[in-house]
Structure 1
Amino acid sequence: MMSQVPHPIPYQGSKRKLAPTIYGFIPRDIDAFYEPFAGSAAMTLYMASRGAANRYIIADKFETIIDLWQMIVDEPRETADRYEEVWQGFSEENPGYFNEVRARYNENRDPVDLLYLVCRCVKNAVRFNSAGNFTQSADKRRKGTNPKKMRAAIFDASELLKGRTEFRKGDWVTTSCDATVRDFVYMDPPYLGTSVGPDKRYHQQLEQEPLISGLAELNARNIRFALSYDGMTGDKEYGPALPGELGMHRLLLHAGRSTQATLQGKSSETVESLYLSRDLDAPERTRIEQLKTAQQSLAL
Protein backbone atom coordinates (compact mmCIF):
# COMPACT_ATOMS: atom_id res chain seq x y z
CA MET A 1 0.00 0.00 0.00
CA MET A 2 1.39 3.41 -1.03
CA SER A 3 0.93 5.89 1.84
CA GLN A 4 0.83 9.05 -0.29
CA VAL A 5 -1.22 8.96 -3.48
CA PRO A 6 0.55 10.53 -6.48
CA HIS A 7 -1.30 13.07 -8.65
CA PRO A 8 0.69 13.99 -11.76
CA ILE A 9 -2.27 15.74 -13.48
CA PRO A 10 -3.53 18.50 -11.15
CA TYR A 11 -6.99 19.08 -12.60
CA GLN A 12 -9.23 21.51 -10.76
CA GLY A 13 -12.34 19.56 -9.77
CA SER A 14 -10.37 16.36 -9.25
CA LYS A 15 -11.80 13.98 -6.66
CA ARG A 16 -8.44 13.82 -4.87
CA LYS A 17 -9.80 15.22 -1.59
CA LEU A 18 -13.03 13.22 -1.68
CA ALA A 19 -11.40 9.95 -2.76
CA PRO A 20 -11.01 8.51 0.78
CA THR A 21 -14.69 9.20 1.53
CA ILE A 22 -15.91 7.73 -1.76
CA TYR A 23 -13.65 4.71 -1.24
CA GLY A 24 -15.57 3.96 1.95
CA PHE A 25 -18.67 3.12 -0.10
CA ILE A 26 -16.96 0.93 -2.70
CA PRO A 27 -17.02 -2.88 -2.27
CA ARG A 28 -13.80 -4.71 -1.43
CA ASP A 29 -14.31 -7.62 -3.85
CA ILE A 30 -13.63 -5.85 -7.15
CA ASP A 31 -12.00 -7.46 -10.15
CA ALA A 32 -11.83 -4.46 -12.53
CA PHE A 33 -12.29 -0.81 -11.54
CA TYR A 34 -13.58 1.38 -14.37
CA GLU A 35 -13.18 5.16 -14.48
CA PRO A 36 -14.74 6.21 -17.83
CA PHE A 37 -14.56 9.98 -17.17
CA ALA A 38 -10.98 9.64 -15.99
CA GLY A 39 -9.47 13.13 -16.33
CA SER A 40 -6.88 13.15 -13.53
CA ALA A 41 -7.90 9.56 -12.60
CA ALA A 42 -7.95 10.50 -8.91
CA MET A 43 -10.17 7.59 -7.89
CA THR A 44 -8.17 5.06 -9.89
CA LEU A 45 -4.96 6.23 -8.24
CA TYR A 46 -6.51 6.06 -4.79
CA MET A 47 -7.95 2.59 -5.43
CA ALA A 48 -4.61 1.35 -6.76
CA SER A 49 -2.77 2.79 -3.75
CA ARG A 50 -5.01 0.61 -1.57
CA GLY A 51 -4.70 -2.47 -3.78
CA ALA A 52 -8.48 -2.38 -4.09
CA ALA A 53 -8.86 -4.04 -7.51
CA ASN A 54 -7.07 -6.51 -9.74
CA ARG A 55 -7.32 -4.39 -12.88
CA TYR A 56 -8.00 -0.76 -13.77
CA ILE A 57 -9.68 0.74 -16.84
CA ILE A 58 -8.80 4.40 -17.44
CA ALA A 59 -11.04 5.87 -20.12
CA ASP A 60 -12.15 9.25 -21.41
CA LYS A 61 -13.66 10.83 -24.49
CA PHE A 62 -10.82 13.37 -24.35
CA GLU A 63 -8.28 11.39 -26.37
CA THR A 64 -5.22 13.47 -25.48
CA ILE A 65 -5.68 12.88 -21.75
CA ILE A 66 -5.67 9.13 -22.40
CA ASP A 67 -2.53 9.47 -24.52
CA LEU A 68 -0.96 11.32 -21.58
CA TRP A 69 -1.98 8.63 -19.10
CA GLN A 70 -0.54 5.92 -21.31
CA MET A 71 2.75 7.81 -21.50
CA ILE A 72 2.83 8.35 -17.72
CA VAL A 73 2.22 4.68 -16.97
CA ASP A 74 4.21 3.01 -19.75
CA GLU A 75 7.01 5.54 -20.36
CA PRO A 76 7.54 7.42 -17.09
CA ARG A 77 11.16 8.42 -17.67
CA GLU A 78 10.58 9.80 -21.16
CA THR A 79 7.44 11.62 -20.00
CA ALA A 80 9.21 13.20 -17.02
CA ASP A 81 12.18 14.19 -19.20
CA ARG A 82 9.92 15.83 -21.78
CA TYR A 83 7.92 17.68 -19.13
CA GLU A 84 11.14 19.04 -17.65
CA GLU A 85 12.25 20.18 -21.11
CA VAL A 86 8.97 22.05 -21.69
CA TRP A 87 8.99 23.51 -18.16
CA GLN A 88 12.59 24.74 -18.54
CA GLY A 89 11.59 26.62 -21.69
CA PHE A 90 10.02 29.41 -19.66
CA SER A 91 12.09 32.45 -18.70
CA GLU A 92 11.33 35.92 -17.40
CA GLU A 93 12.65 37.25 -20.71
CA ASN A 94 9.90 35.36 -22.56
CA PRO A 95 6.63 36.01 -20.70
CA GLY A 96 4.64 34.80 -23.71
CA TYR A 97 6.05 31.27 -23.47
CA PHE A 98 2.82 29.79 -22.08
CA ASN A 99 0.91 31.15 -25.07
CA GLU A 100 3.47 29.59 -27.40
CA VAL A 101 3.01 26.18 -25.79
CA ARG A 102 -0.76 26.62 -25.87
CA ALA A 103 -0.71 27.42 -29.60
CA ARG A 104 1.54 24.43 -30.23
CA TYR A 105 -0.78 22.15 -28.27
CA ASN A 106 -3.85 23.43 -30.09
CA GLU A 107 -2.15 22.58 -33.38
CA ASN A 108 -0.52 19.25 -32.50
CA ARG A 109 -2.37 17.93 -29.39
CA ASP A 110 0.89 16.88 -27.75
CA PRO A 111 0.12 15.17 -24.39
CA VAL A 112 3.15 16.64 -22.59
CA ASP A 113 2.27 20.14 -23.75
CA LEU A 114 -1.18 19.53 -22.28
CA LEU A 115 0.37 18.48 -18.97
CA TYR A 116 2.39 21.69 -18.83
CA LEU A 117 -0.68 23.81 -19.64
CA VAL A 118 -2.73 22.14 -16.91
CA CYS A 119 0.05 22.68 -14.38
CA ARG A 120 0.65 26.30 -15.34
CA CYS A 121 -2.85 27.65 -16.08
CA VAL A 122 -4.92 29.77 -13.67
CA LYS A 123 -5.86 27.65 -10.61
CA ASN A 124 -5.40 24.51 -12.76
CA ALA A 125 -8.85 25.43 -14.13
CA VAL A 126 -8.76 24.13 -17.70
CA ARG A 127 -10.92 25.77 -20.38
CA PHE A 128 -11.68 24.66 -23.93
CA ASN A 129 -13.56 26.30 -26.79
CA SER A 130 -16.08 24.60 -29.07
CA ALA A 131 -13.24 23.34 -31.30
CA GLY A 132 -11.60 21.59 -28.34
CA ASN A 133 -8.74 24.09 -28.19
CA PHE A 134 -7.21 24.99 -24.84
CA THR A 135 -8.13 28.59 -23.99
CA GLN A 136 -7.20 29.18 -20.34
CA SER A 137 -4.52 31.74 -19.51
CA ALA A 138 -1.30 31.35 -17.57
CA ASP A 139 -1.19 31.85 -13.83
CA LYS A 140 1.46 34.56 -13.65
CA ARG A 141 2.17 33.82 -10.00
CA ARG A 142 3.31 30.25 -10.64
CA LYS A 143 5.67 28.41 -12.96
CA GLY A 144 3.74 25.13 -12.73
CA THR A 145 4.72 21.92 -11.00
CA ASN A 146 8.47 21.70 -10.44
CA PRO A 147 10.04 18.99 -12.65
CA LYS A 148 11.50 17.15 -9.65
CA LYS A 149 8.08 16.92 -8.01
CA MET A 150 6.45 15.96 -11.30
CA ARG A 151 9.03 13.23 -11.92
CA ALA A 152 8.27 11.68 -8.53
CA ALA A 153 4.52 11.81 -9.17
CA ILE A 154 4.89 10.26 -12.63
CA PHE A 155 7.11 7.43 -11.43
CA ASP A 156 4.86 6.69 -8.45
CA ALA A 157 1.75 6.64 -10.65
CA SER A 158 3.51 4.32 -13.08
CA GLU A 159 4.51 2.02 -10.23
CA LEU A 160 0.88 1.81 -9.08
CA LEU A 161 -0.68 1.18 -12.48
CA LYS A 162 1.84 -0.42 -14.85
CA GLY A 163 0.97 -3.94 -15.95
CA ARG A 164 -2.60 -3.86 -14.68
CA THR A 165 -4.17 -0.90 -16.45
CA GLU A 166 -5.98 -0.66 -19.77
CA PHE A 167 -6.51 2.64 -21.58
CA ARG A 168 -9.61 3.35 -23.64
CA LYS A 169 -10.89 6.28 -25.69
CA GLY A 170 -14.53 7.03 -26.35
CA ASP A 171 -17.99 7.46 -24.91
CA TRP A 172 -18.40 6.18 -21.36
CA VAL A 173 -21.13 3.70 -22.27
CA THR A 174 -18.87 2.13 -24.90
CA THR A 175 -15.74 2.06 -22.74
CA SER A 176 -17.68 0.39 -19.89
CA CYS A 177 -19.68 -2.03 -22.04
CA ASP A 178 -17.78 -5.14 -20.90
CA ALA A 179 -18.05 -4.48 -17.14
CA THR A 180 -19.41 -7.47 -15.23
CA VAL A 181 -21.03 -8.04 -11.84
CA ARG A 182 -17.53 -8.59 -10.40
CA ASP A 183 -16.44 -5.09 -11.42
CA PHE A 184 -17.16 -1.52 -10.30
CA VAL A 185 -17.72 1.61 -12.39
CA TYR A 186 -16.96 5.05 -10.92
CA MET A 187 -18.22 8.02 -12.93
CA ASP A 188 -17.38 11.70 -12.50
CA PRO A 189 -18.95 13.38 -15.55
CA PRO A 190 -19.18 17.15 -16.01
CA TYR A 191 -21.82 18.91 -13.95
CA LEU A 192 -24.79 20.06 -15.98
CA GLY A 193 -24.09 23.68 -16.87
CA THR A 194 -20.29 23.47 -16.79
CA SER A 195 -19.75 21.63 -20.09
CA VAL A 196 -21.70 23.91 -22.43
CA GLY A 197 -21.16 27.39 -23.83
CA PRO A 198 -18.27 29.05 -25.66
CA ASP A 199 -15.71 28.56 -22.85
CA LYS A 200 -16.23 25.12 -21.32
CA ARG A 201 -14.62 23.70 -18.21
CA TYR A 202 -14.62 20.27 -19.83
CA HIS A 203 -13.46 19.04 -23.19
CA GLN A 204 -16.72 17.26 -24.03
CA GLN A 205 -20.35 17.97 -23.31
CA LEU A 206 -22.70 15.51 -21.59
CA GLU A 207 -26.44 15.96 -21.54
CA GLN A 208 -28.48 14.43 -18.75
CA GLU A 209 -30.75 12.24 -20.89
CA PRO A 210 -28.02 9.94 -22.28
CA LEU A 211 -26.50 9.74 -18.80
CA ILE A 212 -29.80 8.51 -17.37
CA SER A 213 -30.13 6.00 -20.20
CA GLY A 214 -26.63 4.68 -19.56
CA LEU A 215 -27.25 4.34 -15.83
CA ALA A 216 -30.44 2.40 -16.53
CA GLU A 217 -28.38 0.05 -18.70
CA LEU A 218 -25.88 -0.52 -15.88
CA ASN A 219 -28.80 -1.31 -13.57
CA ALA A 220 -30.21 -3.79 -16.08
CA ARG A 221 -26.83 -5.57 -16.16
CA ASN A 222 -26.56 -5.53 -12.33
CA ILE A 223 -23.33 -3.53 -12.48
CA ARG A 224 -22.27 -1.86 -9.23
CA PHE A 225 -21.39 1.79 -9.63
CA ALA A 226 -20.93 5.19 -8.00
CA LEU A 227 -21.62 8.52 -9.65
CA SER A 228 -20.43 12.00 -8.65
CA TYR A 229 -22.74 14.35 -10.47
CA ASP A 230 -24.85 17.29 -9.35
CA GLY A 231 -24.08 19.58 -6.45
CA MET A 232 -24.15 23.14 -5.22
CA THR A 233 -21.74 25.94 -4.43
CA GLY A 234 -23.23 28.49 -2.07
CA ASP A 235 -26.72 29.02 -3.45
CA LYS A 236 -25.88 27.91 -7.00
CA GLU A 237 -27.04 24.42 -7.96
CA TYR A 238 -25.57 22.39 -10.82
CA GLY A 239 -28.45 20.53 -12.41
CA PRO A 240 -31.48 18.73 -10.99
CA ALA A 241 -31.26 15.52 -8.99
CA LEU A 242 -31.35 12.33 -11.03
CA PRO A 243 -34.68 10.45 -11.19
CA GLY A 244 -35.71 8.19 -8.34
CA GLU A 245 -36.70 5.34 -10.65
CA LEU A 246 -33.01 4.55 -11.08
CA GLY A 247 -33.11 3.29 -7.50
CA MET A 248 -29.85 4.95 -6.47
CA HIS A 249 -28.83 6.09 -2.99
CA ARG A 250 -28.03 9.82 -3.00
CA LEU A 251 -25.51 11.12 -0.48
CA LEU A 252 -24.29 14.69 0.01
CA LEU A 253 -20.56 15.13 0.53
CA HIS A 254 -18.81 18.32 1.63
CA ALA A 255 -16.08 19.02 -0.93
CA GLY A 256 -14.58 22.08 0.76
CA ARG A 257 -14.15 25.61 -0.52
CA SER A 258 -15.07 26.22 -4.16
CA THR A 259 -12.11 27.09 -6.39
CA GLN A 260 -14.48 28.64 -8.92
CA ALA A 261 -15.89 30.94 -6.25
CA THR A 262 -12.36 31.84 -5.18
CA LEU A 263 -11.54 32.82 -8.76
CA GLN A 264 -14.54 35.16 -8.66
CA GLY A 265 -13.49 36.70 -5.33
CA LYS A 266 -16.12 34.83 -3.33
CA SER A 267 -15.97 32.31 -0.49
CA SER A 268 -18.44 29.44 -0.88
CA GLU A 269 -18.52 25.83 0.22
CA THR A 270 -19.21 23.08 -2.31
CA VAL A 271 -21.53 20.17 -1.58
CA GLU A 272 -21.47 17.31 -4.10
CA SER A 273 -23.89 14.46 -4.67
CA LEU A 274 -22.63 10.90 -4.68
CA TYR A 275 -25.09 8.42 -6.17
CA LEU A 276 -24.61 4.75 -5.31
CA SER A 277 -26.17 1.89 -7.23
CA ARG A 278 -28.87 -0.28 -5.74
CA ASP A 279 -26.77 -3.44 -6.14
CA LEU A 280 -24.36 -2.86 -3.27
CA ASP A 281 -23.75 -5.56 -0.69
CA ALA A 282 -24.75 -5.30 2.98
CA PRO A 283 -21.54 -3.65 4.34
CA GLU A 284 -21.81 -0.84 1.79
CA ARG A 285 -25.53 -0.39 2.52
CA THR A 286 -24.72 -0.11 6.23
CA ARG A 287 -22.21 2.67 5.56
CA ILE A 288 -24.78 4.44 3.37
CA GLU A 289 -27.40 4.38 6.11
CA GLN A 290 -24.88 5.58 8.69
CA LEU A 291 -23.95 8.57 6.53
CA LYS A 292 -27.59 9.37 5.78
CA THR A 293 -28.33 9.39 9.50
CA ALA A 294 -25.37 11.70 10.13
CA GLN A 295 -26.52 14.03 7.35
CA GLN A 296 -30.02 14.24 8.78
CA SER A 297 -28.61 15.16 12.18
CA LEU A 298 -26.66 17.98 10.51
CA ALA A 299 -29.81 19.09 8.65
CA LEU A 300 -28.17 18.69 5.25
Structure 2
Amino acid sequence: MVKIPHLVQYQGSKRNLANVISGYFPNHFDRLIEPFSGTAAVSIYAAANRLCDKFIFNDINKPIIDMMKECINDPNNLVNGYTEIWNRQFFDGENNIDYYYKMREKFNEKKSIPALTLFILARVAKGAIRYNSRGEMNQICDKRRYGTKPETIRKNAREISELLKGKASLFCNDYRDILSDVHEGDLIYMDPPYQGVSNGLSSRYIQNLPFDEFVSSLQVLNDKNINFIVSYDGQTNDKTFGKILPESLGLQHILLNAGRSSQATLNGKEAITYESLYVSKNLRRN
Protein backbone atom coordinates (compact mmCIF):
# COMPACT_ATOMS: atom_id res chain seq x y z
CA MET A 1 0.00 0.00 0.00
CA VAL A 2 1.31 3.46 -0.93
CA LYS A 3 1.82 5.71 2.11
CA ILE A 4 0.25 9.10 1.45
CA PRO A 5 1.94 12.16 2.98
CA HIS A 6 -0.14 14.95 4.47
CA LEU A 7 1.22 18.32 5.50
CA VAL A 8 -0.93 19.06 8.53
CA GLN A 9 -4.27 18.17 10.11
CA TYR A 10 -7.04 20.15 8.42
CA GLN A 11 -10.70 19.70 9.28
CA GLY A 12 -12.72 18.77 6.21
CA SER A 13 -9.73 17.18 4.48
CA LYS A 14 -10.67 14.10 2.48
CA ARG A 15 -7.40 12.33 3.33
CA ASN A 16 -9.20 9.38 4.92
CA LEU A 17 -11.72 9.08 2.09
CA ALA A 18 -9.41 9.72 -0.87
CA ASN A 19 -9.01 6.03 -1.71
CA VAL A 20 -12.79 5.58 -1.85
CA ILE A 21 -13.33 8.77 -3.85
CA SER A 22 -10.66 7.75 -6.35
CA GLY A 23 -12.63 4.58 -7.03
CA TYR A 24 -15.01 6.76 -9.07
CA PHE A 25 -12.25 8.28 -11.20
CA PRO A 26 -12.27 7.47 -14.92
CA ASN A 27 -9.50 5.21 -16.22
CA HIS A 28 -7.86 8.09 -18.08
CA PHE A 29 -8.08 11.87 -17.70
CA ASP A 30 -5.91 14.84 -18.62
CA ARG A 31 -5.93 16.94 -15.45
CA LEU A 32 -7.28 16.70 -11.92
CA ILE A 33 -8.73 20.07 -10.92
CA GLU A 34 -9.73 21.03 -7.37
CA PRO A 35 -11.58 24.39 -7.32
CA PHE A 36 -11.92 24.16 -3.49
CA SER A 37 -8.61 22.48 -2.83
CA GLY A 38 -7.77 23.22 0.81
CA THR A 39 -4.69 21.07 1.46
CA ALA A 40 -5.42 19.03 -1.69
CA ALA A 41 -5.62 15.60 -0.09
CA VAL A 42 -7.35 13.99 -3.07
CA SER A 43 -4.77 15.30 -5.54
CA ILE A 44 -1.89 14.19 -3.31
CA TYR A 45 -3.46 10.72 -3.19
CA ALA A 46 -3.84 10.70 -6.98
CA ALA A 47 -0.23 11.79 -7.47
CA ALA A 48 1.10 9.17 -5.05
CA ASN A 49 -0.80 6.45 -6.90
CA ARG A 50 0.18 7.80 -10.34
CA LEU A 51 -3.41 8.36 -11.40
CA CYS A 52 -2.57 11.71 -12.97
CA ASP A 53 0.42 14.00 -13.55
CA LYS A 54 -1.26 17.40 -14.08
CA PHE A 55 -3.07 19.23 -11.30
CA ILE A 56 -4.79 22.55 -10.68
CA PHE A 57 -5.40 23.70 -7.11
CA ASN A 58 -7.58 26.66 -6.29
CA ASP A 59 -8.89 28.03 -3.01
CA ILE A 60 -10.36 31.40 -2.14
CA ASN A 61 -8.43 31.23 1.15
CA LYS A 62 -5.13 32.80 0.08
CA PRO A 63 -3.04 31.79 3.13
CA ILE A 64 -3.84 28.12 2.46
CA ILE A 65 -2.88 28.42 -1.22
CA ASP A 66 0.32 30.30 -0.35
CA MET A 67 1.22 27.60 2.18
CA MET A 68 0.65 24.80 -0.33
CA LYS A 69 2.56 26.68 -3.04
CA GLU A 70 5.59 26.98 -0.80
CA CYS A 71 5.28 23.36 0.32
CA ILE A 72 5.43 22.22 -3.29
CA ASN A 73 8.04 24.64 -4.62
CA ASP A 74 10.31 25.26 -1.61
CA PRO A 75 9.54 22.80 1.21
CA ASN A 76 12.78 23.47 3.08
CA ASN A 77 12.02 27.19 3.34
CA LEU A 78 8.51 26.44 4.60
CA VAL A 79 9.72 24.01 7.24
CA ASN A 80 12.63 26.20 8.37
CA GLY A 81 10.17 29.04 8.96
CA TYR A 82 7.77 26.70 10.75
CA THR A 83 10.57 25.34 12.95
CA GLU A 84 11.55 28.83 14.05
CA ILE A 85 7.95 29.75 14.94
CA TRP A 86 7.30 26.38 16.60
CA ASN A 87 10.44 26.56 18.77
CA ARG A 88 9.62 30.04 20.07
CA GLN A 89 6.67 28.72 22.07
CA PHE A 90 9.17 27.03 24.41
CA PHE A 91 11.35 30.08 25.08
CA ASP A 92 11.92 30.90 28.76
CA GLY A 93 9.09 32.95 30.15
CA GLU A 94 6.80 32.20 27.20
CA ASN A 95 3.44 30.59 27.87
CA ASN A 96 2.74 28.41 24.82
CA ILE A 97 -1.01 29.15 24.89
CA ASP A 98 -0.50 32.90 25.09
CA TYR A 99 2.06 32.52 22.32
CA TYR A 100 -0.55 30.87 20.08
CA TYR A 101 -2.89 33.83 20.52
CA LYS A 102 -0.09 36.26 19.66
CA MET A 103 0.57 34.24 16.51
CA ARG A 104 -3.17 34.20 15.73
CA GLU A 105 -3.24 38.00 15.99
CA LYS A 106 -0.30 38.18 13.61
CA PHE A 107 -2.07 35.78 11.24
CA ASN A 108 -5.09 38.10 11.23
CA GLU A 109 -2.96 40.99 10.03
CA LYS A 110 -3.57 39.44 6.58
CA LYS A 111 0.09 39.20 5.56
CA SER A 112 -0.16 35.54 4.51
CA ILE A 113 3.09 34.07 5.83
CA PRO A 114 3.10 30.38 4.81
CA ALA A 115 5.09 29.15 7.82
CA LEU A 116 2.76 31.03 10.19
CA THR A 117 -0.32 29.56 8.48
CA LEU A 118 1.20 26.12 8.95
CA PHE A 119 1.82 26.75 12.65
CA ILE A 120 -1.74 28.01 13.18
CA LEU A 121 -3.13 24.86 11.53
CA ALA A 122 -0.82 22.67 13.59
CA ARG A 123 -1.92 24.22 16.90
CA VAL A 124 -5.56 25.09 16.28
CA ALA A 125 -8.25 22.99 17.99
CA LYS A 126 -9.45 20.07 15.82
CA GLY A 127 -7.40 21.35 12.87
CA ALA A 128 -10.32 23.69 12.24
CA ILE A 129 -9.92 27.32 11.29
CA ARG A 130 -12.99 29.39 12.22
CA TYR A 131 -13.81 32.95 11.14
CA ASN A 132 -15.89 35.65 12.76
CA SER A 133 -18.16 38.12 10.96
CA ARG A 134 -15.17 40.41 10.30
CA GLY A 135 -13.29 37.63 8.52
CA GLU A 136 -10.83 37.17 11.39
CA MET A 137 -9.70 33.71 12.41
CA ASN A 138 -11.02 33.17 15.93
CA GLN A 139 -10.51 29.48 16.71
CA ILE A 140 -8.94 28.52 20.04
CA CYS A 141 -5.76 26.47 20.29
CA ASP A 142 -5.48 22.82 21.23
CA LYS A 143 -4.15 23.09 24.79
CA ARG A 144 -3.18 19.40 24.91
CA ARG A 145 -0.61 19.54 22.11
CA TYR A 146 2.15 21.80 20.82
CA GLY A 147 1.53 21.10 17.15
CA THR A 148 3.21 18.64 14.80
CA LYS A 149 6.95 18.34 15.36
CA PRO A 150 9.08 20.03 12.70
CA GLU A 151 10.85 16.80 11.69
CA THR A 152 7.50 15.20 10.83
CA ILE A 153 6.43 18.28 8.88
CA ARG A 154 9.75 18.28 7.01
CA LYS A 155 9.38 14.66 5.92
CA ASN A 156 5.83 15.13 4.68
CA ALA A 157 6.51 18.47 2.99
CA ARG A 158 9.43 17.03 1.05
CA GLU A 159 7.36 14.03 -0.05
CA ILE A 160 4.50 16.28 -1.22
CA SER A 161 6.98 18.41 -3.12
CA GLU A 162 8.47 15.36 -4.83
CA LEU A 163 4.98 14.29 -5.91
CA LEU A 164 3.73 17.66 -7.19
CA LYS A 165 6.61 20.00 -8.10
CA GLY A 166 6.37 20.91 -11.78
CA LYS A 167 2.97 19.21 -12.03
CA ALA A 168 0.66 21.56 -10.11
CA SER A 169 -0.58 25.08 -10.84
CA LEU A 170 -2.07 26.96 -7.89
CA PHE A 171 -4.61 29.81 -7.91
CA CYS A 172 -6.62 31.92 -5.50
CA ASN A 173 -9.67 32.75 -7.61
CA ASP A 174 -13.42 32.42 -7.53
CA TYR A 175 -14.21 28.77 -8.28
CA ARG A 176 -16.31 29.84 -11.29
CA ASP A 177 -13.20 31.30 -12.92
CA ILE A 178 -11.52 27.92 -12.63
CA LEU A 179 -14.55 26.05 -14.01
CA SER A 180 -14.78 28.41 -16.97
CA ASP A 181 -11.41 27.15 -18.24
CA VAL A 182 -11.95 23.38 -18.06
CA HIS A 183 -12.36 21.11 -21.04
CA GLU A 184 -13.54 17.62 -21.89
CA GLY A 185 -10.94 15.17 -20.63
CA ASP A 186 -10.48 17.00 -17.30
CA LEU A 187 -11.70 15.56 -14.01
CA ILE A 188 -13.07 18.07 -11.51
CA TYR A 189 -13.12 17.12 -7.83
CA MET A 190 -15.06 19.60 -5.69
CA ASP A 191 -15.20 19.81 -1.91
CA PRO A 192 -17.02 23.14 -1.47
CA PRO A 193 -18.10 24.81 1.78
CA TYR A 194 -20.83 22.69 3.35
CA GLN A 195 -24.21 24.33 3.88
CA GLY A 196 -24.43 23.64 7.60
CA VAL A 197 -21.11 25.22 8.51
CA SER A 198 -20.74 28.12 6.06
CA ASN A 199 -22.38 30.86 8.05
CA GLY A 200 -23.16 32.00 11.56
CA LEU A 201 -20.94 33.60 14.17
CA SER A 202 -18.08 31.14 13.72
CA SER A 203 -17.95 29.87 10.16
CA ARG A 204 -15.55 27.13 9.08
CA TYR A 205 -15.01 28.92 5.79
CA ILE A 206 -13.73 32.33 4.82
CA GLN A 207 -16.55 32.65 2.27
CA ASN A 208 -19.86 30.83 1.86
CA LEU A 209 -21.29 29.34 -1.32
CA PRO A 210 -24.81 30.11 -2.59
CA PHE A 211 -26.56 26.81 -3.29
CA ASP A 212 -28.40 27.82 -6.48
CA GLU A 213 -25.26 29.36 -7.95
CA PHE A 214 -23.35 26.14 -7.34
CA VAL A 215 -26.09 24.02 -8.90
CA SER A 216 -26.00 26.22 -12.01
CA SER A 217 -22.23 25.72 -12.26
CA LEU A 218 -22.67 21.96 -12.13
CA GLN A 219 -25.28 22.10 -14.88
CA VAL A 220 -22.80 23.96 -17.09
CA LEU A 221 -20.27 21.17 -16.53
CA ASN A 222 -22.92 18.63 -17.51
CA ASP A 223 -23.68 20.59 -20.67
CA LYS A 224 -19.96 20.56 -21.57
CA ASN A 225 -19.71 16.81 -20.87
CA ILE A 226 -17.11 17.40 -18.15
CA ASN A 227 -16.61 14.62 -15.58
CA PHE A 228 -16.90 15.76 -11.98
CA ILE A 229 -17.22 14.47 -8.43
CA VAL A 230 -18.60 16.51 -5.53
CA SER A 231 -18.30 16.02 -1.77
CA TYR A 232 -21.16 18.00 -0.26
CA ASP A 233 -22.86 17.80 3.13
CA GLY A 234 -24.19 14.53 4.51
CA GLN A 235 -25.77 13.24 7.69
CA THR A 236 -25.07 12.05 11.21
CA ASN A 237 -27.37 9.25 12.33
CA ASP A 238 -30.83 10.68 11.53
CA LYS A 239 -29.73 14.32 11.20
CA THR A 240 -29.25 15.57 7.62
CA PHE A 241 -27.16 18.65 6.81
CA GLY A 242 -28.12 20.90 3.92
CA LYS A 243 -30.18 20.41 0.80
CA ILE A 244 -29.52 17.46 -1.48
CA LEU A 245 -28.29 18.36 -4.96
CA PRO A 246 -31.25 18.19 -7.39
CA GLU A 247 -32.09 15.04 -9.37
CA SER A 248 -32.19 17.15 -12.55
CA LEU A 249 -28.37 17.08 -12.57
CA GLY A 250 -28.46 13.31 -13.14
CA LEU A 251 -25.84 12.59 -10.46
CA GLN A 252 -25.31 9.37 -8.57
CA HIS A 253 -25.61 10.07 -4.83
CA ILE A 254 -23.49 7.92 -2.52
CA LEU A 255 -23.13 8.15 1.26
CA LEU A 256 -19.60 7.51 2.49
CA ASN A 257 -18.91 6.42 6.08
CA ALA A 258 -16.59 9.14 7.42
CA GLY A 259 -16.31 7.62 10.90
CA ARG A 260 -17.37 8.87 14.30
CA SER A 261 -18.59 12.42 14.60
CA SER A 262 -16.02 14.44 16.56
CA GLN A 263 -18.69 16.96 17.61
CA ALA A 264 -20.95 14.21 18.95
CA THR A 265 -18.01 12.71 20.83
CA LEU A 266 -17.31 16.07 22.47
CA ASN A 267 -20.97 16.15 23.55
CA GLY A 268 -20.67 12.68 25.13
CA LYS A 269 -22.64 10.93 22.37
CA GLU A 270 -21.82 8.36 19.72
CA ALA A 271 -22.74 9.03 16.11
CA ILE A 272 -21.42 8.08 12.69
CA THR A 273 -20.95 10.77 10.06
CA TYR A 274 -21.85 9.99 6.45
CA GLU A 275 -20.64 12.35 3.76
CA SER A 276 -22.47 12.75 0.47
CA LEU A 277 -20.54 12.03 -2.70
CA TYR A 278 -22.12 13.02 -6.02
CA VAL A 279 -20.79 11.50 -9.22
CA SER A 280 -21.52 12.93 -12.68
CA LYS A 281 -23.34 10.91 -15.34
CA ASN A 282 -20.32 9.40 -17.15
CA LEU A 283 -18.79 8.20 -13.87
CA ARG A 284 -21.89 6.55 -12.40
CA ARG A 285 -21.52 3.02 -11.05
CA ASN A 286 -24.29 0.43 -10.99
Quick check: TM above 0.5?
Answer: yes
CA distance in 1, matches of 2:40, 2:138: 22
**2:246 paired with 1:243:** yes
**Conservation of the 8 A alpha-carbon contact between 1:120 and 1:139:** yes
**Amino acid paired to 1:106:** N
- Deviation at residue 64 of structure 1 after TM alignment: 1.4
CA distance in 2, matches of 1:26, 1:117: 33
- Deviation at residue 12 of structure 1 after TM alignment: 1.3
After superposition, give the CA deviation of every residue in 1:226-276 in whole Å (9 maximum; x if it has no partner): 000020123322102111000111111111011222333332110111000
After superposition, give the CA deviation of every residue in 1:156-203 in whole Å (9 maximum; x if it has no partner): 010000001000111112112221111100000121120101211112
RMSD over equivalenced CA pairs, Å: 1.4
Secondary structure in 1 aligned to 2:197? Answer: coil
**Amino acid paired to 2:187:** F
Secondary structure in 2 aligned to 1:34? Answer: strand
Secondary structure in 2 aligned to 1:132? Answer: coil
CA distance in 2, matches of 1:165, 1:175: 14
CA distance in 1, matches of 2:248, 2:217: 13
Where does residue 124 of structure 2 map in the other structure?
Answer: 121
**2:229 paired with 1:212:** no
Superposition TM-score, scaled by structure 2 size: 0.95
Aligned residues: 282
Where does residue 292 of structure 1 map in the other structure?
Answer: none
Q: Percent same amino acid at aligned positions?
A: 41
CA distance in 2, matches of 1:209, 1:264: 33
**Amino acid paired to 2:23:** G
**Amino acid paired to 2:150:** P
Q: Stretches of 4+ moved more than 3 A in 1?
A: none
Secondary structure in 1 aligned to 2:78? Answer: helix
**Conservation of the 8 A alpha-carbon contact between 2:62 and 2:112:** no
**Conservation of the 8 A alpha-carbon contact between 2:31 and 2:52:** yes
- Deviation at residue 113 of structure 1 after TM alignment: 1.1
CA distance in 1, matches of 2:129, 2:264: 15
1:159-178 residue pairs with structure 2 within 5 A? 159-178=162-181
Where does residue 101 of structure 2 map in the other structure?
Answer: 99
Where does residue 144 of structure 1 map in the other structure?
Answer: 147
Alignment partner for residue 275 of structure 1, among 275, 278, 283? 278
Secondary structure in 2 aligned to 1:170? Answer: coil
1:152-163 residue pairs with structure 2 within 5 A? 152-163=155-166
Alignment partner for residue 112 of structure 1, among 110, 115, 121? 115
Where does residue 294 of structure 1 map in the other structure?
Answer: none
After superposition, give the CA deviation of every residue in 1:126-159 in whole Å (9 maximum; x if it has no partner): 2111232211111110000100000011100100
1:1-300 residue pairs with structure 2 within 5 A? 3-91=2-90, 93-95=93-95, 96-107=98-109, 108-280=111-283, 285=284, 288-289=285-286
**Amino acid paired to 1:94:** E
Superposition TM-score, scaled by structure 1 size: 0.91
Of 231-240 and 88-97, the range deviating more from structure 2? 88-97
CA distance in 2, matches of 1:185, 1:138: 34
**Amino acid paired to 2:5:** P
